[in-house]
Amino acid sequence: GSVAETFRVIQGTVTEEFVKSTQGVFQFELSGDGGGTWYIDLKTKGGGAGFGKPPVAADVVMSMSSADFVKMFT
């Protein structure tokens, strides 16, 4: 599984209820294939996930290899 595919799956599971209950923004600094800055926004209305910096300041920033990220979420 690729980093981009993992974020597509995450994006598809974000619900307004999940956003309301979580209220956090997570930024991932990934190294390796598909690396770069990615985010999961579980704070702003509708939430979201994708490549680049989050739309609001991150509450948590994690640095790891893209392979470890994919393992963590699958």
Domains, in order of start, for the chain: 3-72 (3.30.1050.10)
Element (H, E) at 37: strand 36-42
What does the alpha-carbon distance between residue 53 and residue 71 come to, in Å, rounded to a whole number? Answer: 22
Mean pLDDT of the chain, nearest integer: 96
pLDDT value at position 5? 96
pLDDT value at position 74? 87
The tokens describing 46, both together, are: 């509708």
Question: What is the pTM (predicted TM-score) of this model?
Answer: 0.92
- In which band, very low, low, confident or very high, does the pLDDT at 9 lie, cut at 50, 70 and 90? very high
Mean pLDDT of 8-37: 96
Q: What is the pLDDT of residues 26-44, one digit of tens each?
A: 999 999 999 999 999 999 9
